[in-house]
Amino acid sequence: MKKVFAFIIFFVFCMINLSYSKKSLSLEKFKIQKISDTINYPWGMSLLDEKNILVTSKKGNIYFINLVNFYTKKIHKIIDTKPHGQGGLLDIMNLKINSTNYVFVCYVDKIDNDVVISRFKLNKLKLLNKKIIFKSGYKKQSSKHFGCRLINYKNTVLFSIGDRGYRDNSQNPNNYPGSIIQISHKGEKLGKKNKGWLEGIFSIGHRNPQGLIVLKEFDQIWSHEHGPKGGDEINVIYKGNNYGWPIVSHGEEYWGGKIGVGVSQKGFEDPVWKWIPSIAPSGIDYYKHSYFTELQGSLLIGSLKFKSLYAVKIINQKPISEFIVFKNKIGRIRDVLSHPKGYILLLNDEYEGGLYKMSKN
């Protein structure tokens, strides 16, 4: 009897998953409009409030955009960066700390090719009192896998650095590439859990994480990262854990062939979701609003490769299914943000790029 009951439960669960996986938003239900001036290769964004947002471009420019009248203004230039391969000015985060607005930016230094976090005070749309609060100290002239997503986590700054194109970095906790790192708002490197790890390293074994979010509903950190040929993955990030790259991977070499020892191994955290083939994920947000009911309770993830917006449904703190919300509407999707009013903001990784708004017709 117990086996029959268990089978029924399993069957119902599968039917729910199947029905969800076939859902898609009707094209008549939403529209996508460009709401900014043209921005060359925008990368990151952060809300100032419900009406205003900051957006970065890889060239080093920071833009202010009003979400009501779409007014766009360049307010700052990061002079110690320049676009180089996957590098340049990348993510941005606005935080109010003790009534003062601070802006944190992650970028690649044009002289040392190093990953840098700088902090500014924001006053009347001017970025003042620049302070470099972190440098990775890794200066090899690689042009890829910088990571560089920023989030605020329990009054600290959490950010990612990719393996910089040298995969062995990810299993070397004596350098910062291939890690997620935690520092204070002032730049102090926070305590280490594992002996032998550099101070500030939160987790290791990452290839190129370009999605990082705190899911407050679960009190968890979630991240996604690029795999090689196949093997893009979503992980739940715990302090002190090793996420396996390049010892374990669901991807393979670009020219074919196995990477590491397999897809799972004791001592390494397995992903909670994976993409084979790769979608080249970038940007992530959790959609909890009722504005788009089809998306409620889903992770929203941009795809660079397929120029798509993906929705990954979460039930009981686990991904169960996904569908493509739209494809080939605005080009390569670099970042995604759900607005408090329920509509969705998107950045496209294009020369004539910009900020887009997805809303109901």
The whole-number pLDDT of residue 28 equals 61
Which helix (H) or strand (E) is 12 found in, with range?
helix 2-21
- Separation CA 232–CA 228 (nearest Å): 7
- Count of Cβ atoms closer than 10 Å to residue 317 Cβ: 12
The whole-number pLDDT of residue 195 equals 83
The whole-number pLDDT of residue 27 equals 52
Angstrom CA distances, 336 to 46, 95, 166, stand at 10, 18, 28
The whole-number pLDDT of residue 26 equals 60
Phi and psi dihedrals of 295, rounded to 5?
-100, -5
- Separation CA 346–CA 53 (nearest Å): 12
In whole angstroms, what separates CA 247 from the centre of its chain?
Answer: 23
Question: Mind listing the pLDDT tens digit of every residue in the chain (361 residues)?
Answer: 444 444 444 444 444 444 444 455 665 689 999 999 999 999 999 999 999 999 999 999 999 999 999 999 999 999 999 999 999 999 999 999 999 999 999 999 999 999 999 999 999 999 999 999 999 999 999 999 999 999 999 999 999 999 999 999 999 999 999 999 999 999 999 977 788 899 999 999 999 999 999 999 999 999 999 999 999 999 999 999 999 999 999 999 999 999 999 999 999 999 999 999 999 999 999 999 999 999 999 999 999 999 999 999 999 999 999 999 999 999 999 999 999 999 999 999 999 999 999 999 8
The whole-number pLDDT of residue 10 equals 41
In this structure, are residues 225 and 207 in contact, taking their beta carbons and an 8 Å threshold? yes
The whole-number pLDDT of residue 25 equals 65
The whole-number pLDDT of residue 4 equals 43
18 three-class SS: helix
CA proximity to 78, closest of 55, 95, 62: 62
Tokens in use for 203?
Answer: 């987790």
- Separation CA 323–CA 338 (nearest Å): 17
Please list, in sequence order, all residues whose beta carbon lies within 8 angstroms of the beta carbon of residue 1, skipping any fewer than 6 positions away.
Answer: none
Within 13 Å, how many C-alpha atoms sit on residue 96's CB side? Answer: 5
Domains present along the chain, CATH in parentheses: 28-360 (2.120.10.30)
Q: Strands, DSSP E only, in 16-71?
A: 30-34, 42-49, 52-57, 61-66
Q: What DSSP state is assigned to residue 10?
A: H
Please list, in sequence order, all residues whose beta carbon lies within 8 angstroms of the beta carbon of residue 217, skipping any fewer than 6 positions away.
Answer: 286, 288
Within 13 Å, how many C-alpha atoms sit on residue 125's CB side? Answer: 13
CA proximity to 327, closest of 347, 344, 303, 346: 303
End-to-end C-alpha distance for the chain, whole angstroms:
51
- Separation CA 44–CA 215 (nearest Å): 19
- Separation CA 177–CA 167 (nearest Å): 9
19 three-class SS: helix
Q: Cis (ω within 30 of 0) for the bond into 277?
A: yes
- Separation CA 193–CA 276 (nearest Å): 33
